[in-house]
Amino acid sequence: MAFRRAIWLGAILTILMLVFLATGLVTGIVELALWAVALILGWVWLLRLARPRGTR
């Protein structure tokens, strides 16, 4: 369940960033911030998924 949620979250963020890139509405600084947030969220999800099943 968490894995699907992570995939959907990543897909939505990626689509949003591609839209921003295509339209040019976002400045470079904001765009970099979005990428940083997406990377951090992705690593957090990966680390949570890598843990053994029994622990939280």
Q: Where are the alpha helices (DSSP H) in the chain?
A: 2-23, 28-50
Encode the chain (56 residues) as per-residue pLDDT tens digits.
Answer: 677 887 888 888 888 878 877 776 667 777 778 888 888 988 888 888 877 666 55
Q: Which residue, chain included where needed, has tokens 């911030």?
A: 33
Q: 0.75 exceeded by the pTM?
A: no
Q: Which residue, chain included where needed, has tokens 């890139």?
A: 21
